[in-house]
Every structure is written in C-alpha cells, then in structure tokens.
C-alpha cells in the first residue's frame, strides 16, 4: 500500500461524495455513511458513522480506520486506499477527479 507522504489533503467533497453516501472499509466490508460535505470541492469533510459499529458515533475517517484496524493500524498508510465507494478506492476516486481538473 502507498503511504500518505507527499499526498494532497483529501476530503469527501474532492471525491464527489456527499451526505448519505455509503463507503466500505475494504478489509472487513463494514459499511459507513458519509456524514459531512455536499459533494463539492468547496464543501467536504471527513466524518463517517456506522449504525452497527462504534455505537452510531461520528468519527473522522482516520479515527474509524484506527478503531477498525486496532493493533494493525500503521499511521504511514494512506487511509484513503483502505476505503471504497462503488468498487473504487477513495484514493483512486481522488486521483481520477484530479485528472479532470
């Protein structure tokens, strides 16, 4: 997996994701709802929640990743590679949208 070194800051708006979109944690298949941002690059966010996991609380995508991976969490790994939306990693979505701009 790629590390986050020299990666631009990412938020859901830059990916076109908005409130209510469901993303999946690749390792477990756990689904989380995006709860911040309106899908535009000016209005993003990084908050997610799961009604099943973590007590329906809001978490940043990084903190949710840390909680899901527990002892296996590596702060040098790009968390956006660990999550997917409709079959594409969030990093891939970011890279694809960046090419269009």
- Three-class SS string for the chain? CCECCCCCCCCHHHHCCECCCEEEECCCCCEEEECCCECECCECCCEEECCCCHHHCEEEHHHHHHHHHHHHCCCCECHHHCEEECCEEHHHHHHHHHHHC
pLDDT of residue 1: 46
The per-residue pLDDT for range 4-55, each reduced to its tens digit, is 455 557 889 889 999 999 999 999 999 999 998 877 888 888 889 987 765 6
pLDDT of residue 2: 47
Residue 101 banded pLDDT, cuts 50, 70, 90: low
**pLDDT for residue 78 is more than 80:** yes
pLDDT of residue 9: 73
Question: By the 8 A CB rule, do 12 and 83 touch?
Answer: no
């Amino acid at each position: 997996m790629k590390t986050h070194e020299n990666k631009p800051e990412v938020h859901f708006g830059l990916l076109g994701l908005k409130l209510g979109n469901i993303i999946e944690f690749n390792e477990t298949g756990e689904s989380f709802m995006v709860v911040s941002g309106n899908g535009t690059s000016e209005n993003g966010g990084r908050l997610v929640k799961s009604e099943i996991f973590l007590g329906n609380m809001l978490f940043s995508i990084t903190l949710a990743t840390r909680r899901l991976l527990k002892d296996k969490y590596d702060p040098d790994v790009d968390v956006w590679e660990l999550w997917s939306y409709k079959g594409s990693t969030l990093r891939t979505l970011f890279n694809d949208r960046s090419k269009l701009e």
